Amino acid sequence: MNLFDVYPLFDIEIVRGKGCRVWDPAGNEYLDLYGGHAVISVGHAHPDYVAAITAQLRQLGFYSNSVVNSLQQQVADRLGQASGYDDYALFLINTGAEANENALKLASFHNGKRRVVSFRKSFHGRTSAAVRVTDNPALIAPVNEGMPVTYLPFDELTLVEDEFKKGDVSSLIIEGIQGVGGIQVPADDFLRSLRELCTRYEVCLIVDEIQSGYGRSGRFFAHQYAGIRPDIITVAKGIANGFPMGAVLISPMFKPVHGMLGTTFGGNHLACAAAIAVLDILAKEQLIENAERIGRYLRQELATLPGIREIRGRGLMIGIEFEEPIRELRRRLLFEQKVFTGVAGAHTIRLLPPLCLSEAEAGEAIRRLRRTMNSMAQ
């Protein structure tokens, strides 16, 4: 049997990691500024994280949601305290796409409406409803087209209100910071106005913090810069540092009914052990504060480099838009300078490193980028 060939792969295998470094089978060391799509939050193979999962696996790896799992309540308690949402409820699943599926479904259950407002350049996942609210027609199969969705540009509040006035909008979904769209940061005033409009027209406000959450922006959630409280928040990626896990944070305005949501693997014992370890490490090592500080340092240093049109982002979620296409630059960074980065479109490099990135490692990354740019200019 062959693998279904849907991933354009670099010819590199990573077999070991520690902190912000990874290694291939030949022992070559790479600086990881991408964290496997923003998944690695507390660093590769953090000893406390490894110990927590190992200890839980020795005791019990899995049992279903037909019985009490007290680890789930521990995650809820710790996450509520860390994020400032201790009055919300928590539903645990396995992925970010699942989180958004359940958020959209919950909103529709709540108000009985179907249509969703999303934004241009958005990405919310690849499953049925999540991909329908993603602004990429190439990903939407005919079977996904049934749910009515309207895509709007950022900062066009009049257009948002015009859609809300039609009376059929169930929810509005927006990323805390757009990731795949090129690290586009919604203005704080725009988010505050969306909150006000959603309240006025009884539309559920869903903020997708799957990539921008869990401290990556320098706050626990990126939307907290705007001082708003969404009705639903979705998370995944950094929640468990690579162990598959997602979650939905749900306002008290929603009332649970047995059977309305469900999952086989969501909130399993190993995932919960991983999530608790991540919250412990974030607090103990002050990684959210580190993300803000090192992100600021990186943006300052990047601003000294030539050929950059714009630097966007917050914390350790950074988009570097170059004046020229970046395909060859990114290839040389990886194969010659041994630095992993991400991409968004033809001109933007994404930096999404583990939140434990040190100033020395950030400085090293800038020097490697500068060397690559200099070699290409010759």
* Domain presence at residue 28: yes
Q: What is the CATH number of the domain that holds 122?
A: 3.40.640.10
Least confident of 162-171, 246-255, 303-312, 369-378: 369-378
Q: Among residues 345, 354, 341, which one has the least CA distance to residue 321?
A: 345
Taken as a whole, the chain contains a residue count of 378
* 280 and 294 fall within a common domain: no
Q: What average pLDDT score do residues 134-148 get? A: 96
Tokens of 119: 């934004």
- In terms of domains, do 259 and 335 share one? no
Buried b (16+ CB within 10 A) or exposed e, 88-101: bebbbbbbbbbbbb
Say if residue 208's pLDDT is above 80: yes
User: Is pLDDT at 378 greater than 80 in this prediction?
Assistant: no
Per residue in 95-128, pLDDT (tens digit) is: 999 999 999 999 999 999 999 999 999 999 999 9
My answer on whether 303 and 194 are in the same domain is: no
Chain-centroid distance of CA 263 in Å reads 21
* Alpha helices (H) in the chain, listed in sequence order: 35-38, 47-59, 70-83, 96-111, 128-132, 157-164, 188-201, 269-284, 287-302, 327-335, 359-377
Residue 377 pLDDT class (50, 70, 90 cuts): confident
Per-residue model confidence as pLDDT tens digits over 223-262: 999 999 999 999 999 999 999 999 999 999 999 999 999 9
Residue 64 sits in the same domain as residue 169? yes
DSSP string, 302-362: HTTSTTEEEEEEETTEEEEEESS--HHHHHHHHHTS-EE-EEETTTEEEE---TT--HHHH
Q: Do 352 and 212 fall into the same domain? A: no
Among residues 327, 331, 337, 318, which one has the least CA distance to residue 34? 318
Residue 208 sits in the same domain as residue 313: no
Distance CA 183, CA 350 (A): 7
Can you tell me the mean pLDDT for 277-298? 98
Which residue in the block uniquely carries the two structure tokens 């179907």? 114
Tens of pLDDT, residue by residue over 172-206, are: 999 999 999 999 999 999 999 999 999 999 999 99
Question: Which CATH number characterizes residue 306's domain?
Answer: 3.90.1150.10
Nearest CA to 237 out of 134, 125, 118 is that of 125
Per-residue model confidence as pLDDT tens digits over 316-357:
999 999 999 999 999 999 999 999 999 999 999 999 999 999
Whole-angstrom Cα distance, residue 261 to residue 240?
22
Q: In terms of domains, do 256 and 337 share one? A: no
Q: Which residues pair with 117 in a beta bridge?
A: 150, 172
pLDDT of 25 > 80? The answer is yes
- For residue 295, give the nearest of 361, 209, 223, 346 by alpha carbon: 361
Question: How many CA atoms lie within 13 Å of 17's alpha carbon, on the beta-carbon side?
Answer: 23
The reply to whether 5 falls in a domain is no
Residue 85 pLDDT greater than 80, yes or no = yes
Between CA 222 and CA 244 the distance in angstroms is 22
Q: Among 238, 256, 284, where does a domain finish? A: 284
Please answer whether residues 287 and 42 qualify as being in contact, where contact means their C-beta atoms are separated by less than 8 angstroms. yes
For residue range 356-366, list pLDDT tens digits in order: 999 999 999 99
> What is the DSSP-derived secondary structure letter of residue 290?
H
Do 123 and 235 share a domain, yes or no?
yes
How many domains is the chain built from? 2
Mean pLDDT value across the chain: 97
Q: 62 with 26, same domain? A: no
User: Is residue 252 within 8 Å of 273, Cβ to Cβ?
Assistant: no
The answer on pLDDT for 160 being more than 90 is yes
Range of the domain at 360: 16-42+286-377
